[in-house]
Amino acid sequence: MHLETIPSRREFIAATAVGAVALTAASAVSAANTSDPTKETAMITSPAFQASDALRPLPFDPSKLNGLSERLVRSHWENNYGGSVKALVVVKKRLADAMGEKDLPPYVYNDLKREHLVRTGSVVFHEHYFDNLGGNGKAGAQERQTIGQAFGSFDNWEGEFRRIGAGLGGGSGWVVLGFNLHTRQLENYWMADHAHGPAATVPVLVMDMYEHSYQMDYGAAAAKYIDAFFENVNWDRVAARLAAASAIKT
Ligand SMILES: [Fe+2]
């Protein structure tokens, strides 16, 4: 699923199909344990056990952001986001290999599954984060109205979003404005780390609150980073995600 877009129903079905392939891969595990080399190869090359090593390019000129230096943004993109992209490739390869080890205890396998969850979260949320930067920070009338209706006012929404971010200052985590496909509500979510993903939620606006997002420019002054983040929000992307998410039927 391309992260610059919210999944359409067709993409959802395609994703479900990928899930089916994953189940097929899981079924192939037992087959692998029967030492059928053909089925073992099929499992290792299944989509669920692979990840792309390609970094998604920054969708903006990092020298043009307001209050966020090019050095900071490039380092964040290359080292933190890029590091997770590379790590996810390694973890998935290790998972595929481990599935062929019939004597490997499940709890040891789950160490890798934990890392799989963490790295997937890091890659997905970083791609959303960079994708919703590079704008002028000015929300359009439609977004202000939609968000305002959900939170009582647009200022209410921004106040809560900023408050969650401030609470994460000095540590790690994410703040996400998301559309919950189950409750059909637009809400702000606190996430303590990459592994926290709100249930059934499509990210609409994502703010990285790991210290690596701002320490180079602002030291421990997280509030100044939050101000800078808001000055660079790409509201066109937020509007597109909102429209696409609300069109998804579950
Ligand atoms: Fe980050």
How many Å from the N-terminal Cα to the C-terminal Cα in the chain? 17
Residue 122 CA, ligand 1 centroid: distance in Å: 7
Name which residue leads in pLDDT, 6 or 238.
238
Give residue-wise pLDDT tens across range 176-207. 999 999 999 999 999 999 999 999 999 999 99
**Which residues partner with 189 through β-bridges?**
176
Residue 226 CA, ligand 1 centroid: distance in Å: 14
Q: What is the dihedral of CA 113, 119, 124, 126, to 10 degrees?
A: 160
Percent of residues, the chain, with pLDDT higher than 90: 81
pLDDT at 35: 55
Residue 81 CA, ligand 1 centroid: distance in Å: 6
Residue 213 CA, ligand 1 centroid: distance in Å: 6
pTM: 0.84
Residue 161 CA, ligand 1 centroid: distance in Å: 17
| H or E element at residue 157 | helix 154-168
pLDDT at 27 over 70: no
Residue 210 CA, ligand 1 centroid: distance in Å: 6
Residue 89 CA, ligand 1 centroid: distance in Å: 18
Q: Beta strand 174-180 with 201-208: parallel, antiparallel or unpaired? A: antiparallel
Residue 233 CA, ligand 1 centroid: distance in Å: 16
The residues, any chain, with a CB within 8 Å of residue 54's CB and separated by 6 or more, are 85
Give residue-wise pLDDT tens across range 194-246. 999 999 999 999 999 999 999 999 999 999 999 999 999 999 999 999 999 99
Dist. CA 206–CA 229, nearest whole Å: 10
Residue 141 CA, ligand 1 centroid: distance in Å: 30
Residue 35 CA, ligand 1 centroid: distance in Å: 41
Query: Which top CATH class is 8-47+132-250?
Result: alpha beta
Residue 130 CA, ligand 1 centroid: distance in Å: 9
